[in-house]
Amino acid sequence: MRAMSDVSPPPEPFTAQTGPAALEDLRSRLRATRWPDTPEDAGWSLGTDIAYLRELVAYWADGFDWPAQEAALARLPHFRVPLGGLGIHFVHARAAAPTAPTAPVLPLVLSHGWPDSFWRYAKVIPLLTDPGAHGADPADAFDVVVPDMPGYGYSDRPSGPPLDSIAVAGLWARLMSVLGYPRFGAAGGDMGSHVSRYLGLDHPDRVVAVHRTDAGLPLFTGDPADLAPEERAWLEGTVAWGATEGAYAAVHRTKPQTAAFGLTDSPAGLAAWIVEKLRAWSDCDGDVERSFTKDEILTNVTLYWLTATIGSTMRMYRANAAIPPAQLARRVEVPSGFSLFPGDILRPPRAWLERTANVVRETEPAPAGRRSAPRRVGAGRHPAPRRHGRHRGELDHRLRRVRADHRERKLELASSSAFDGVASESWISTFISGMSSLP
């Protein structure tokens, strides 16, 4: 799986280093926050709760240890490479040395969404690359590639029009070529779900399979009578959700620069914009810290602050809004799997999944954020996937074994984001089905 080469310049190692002046400026701004008035007992009903944000900002200014978080993230293998006129940052973690040197290793490209970056998958990476170190079969290891989308994290910001998910999928296909991977699996959620979808649509000869944690916002231009009742109910539900929860997306699509002025200048404002979504989109029963610790929240927000990328990340919504409906209506024919969490904001029915993709696997992982069975990012013990198979003749047997194991016990791989989890068996079953076409 590593025989392919590309004429593009080779990736170069990358290390992020934040100077003391940038951190002192951040702390000064936090301590000088000008707080808005808030109606009594508003809580989270009007947006971010001021009491919680005051608590978070105080910790950010005087308790949060960014250098320690930066050093922890730096333990991952970081690189940058020029692609399409942009410097693209990515993590490239290779599988731990296999016990059988000739065994093929399946590469995976994982695509994040908003408000995110490579950080989303930071705790998933070692579980996928070195399952043996976490009590599972070492033969189940993957090579893992996690890029920052253009305008996110440590990737360059487009100076012209923002890139849409189709263009980003094309960049990822080129990136995998540069890294020597002719075939690979793709996985993601939120915007990363769209990017993974277009990888499967536009590069079916290279993508073994696609795994997604959502089906995106629906688009149907036909006769509603042709839809199943549960599909019509879901479409109506998405309209209702947009009316009550979709204001942020409307701003991102239409006037992202207006919001970018304030959010780029005020770290408290930036935190308010992001943390309200983390709370709303995680299965936390209203307490965001049941899904994310303060350090996790602030690591994510600090990445946005230090890279000044809130404006460029929002502009991708505008680009995606301009994608022609004919593109959105295409059906993914490569093997596709879905992990749909019970607390997710827009859960598509099975009929819709099958209408839009070649579904070989669908799972419903247990709820995230429950204290009785901790599933906070990285918490507890995370069994690794079942092995993806070494020879074509073994694939069907292994797929049956994985499915039988699933009936006996649901093995879940924790996500690095509580609102975009990953069920390991769904991933592996999806990629097993796709690998049936490998030589």
Nearest alpha-carbon partner for 185 in 254, 105, 125, 296: 105
| Sign of the Cα pseudo-torsion (221, 243, 260, 121, in order) | negative
Residues of the chain where predicted confidence (pLDDT) is lower than 70: 1-7, 98-102, 367-439
The model's pTM is: 0.85
pLDDT in tens, 149-182: 999 999 999 999 999 999 999 999 999 999 999 9
The conformation of residue 125, written as its DSSP 8-state character, comes to H
DSSP for 287-333 reads -GGGT--HHHHHHHHHHHHHHT-HHHHHHHHHHHHTS-HHHHTPPEE
pLDDT at 379: 31
The confidence score (pLDDT) of residue 406 equals: 33
Joined together, the tokens standing for residue 111 give 């695509």
Contact yes or no for 317/131 (Cβ under 8 A): no
**pLDDT at site 378:** 32
Distances (CA, A) of 278 to 88, 208, 274, 293, 305: 26, 31, 6, 11, 16
Q: How does DSSP assign 237-297, residue by residue?
A: HHHHHHHHH-HHHHHHHH-HHHHHHHHHH-HHHHHHHHHHHHHHHSSSTT-GGGT--HHHH
Q: Is 414 helix (H, G, I), strand (E, B) or coil?
A: coil
Can you give the pLDDT at residue 428? 53
Q: How far apart are CA 175 and CA 152, in angstroms?
A: 16
- Measure the N-to-C terminal CA separation of the chain; round to a whole number of Å: 10
Cα four-point dihedral sign 415, 420, 422, 427: negative
| pLDDT recorded at residue 375 | 34
pLDDT at 96: 92
Q: Return the structure tokens found at 413.
A: 């791989």
Could you give the CA distance from residue 206 to residue 193 in angstroms, rounded to a whole number?
A: 17
By three-state DSSP, how is residue 127 classified?
helix
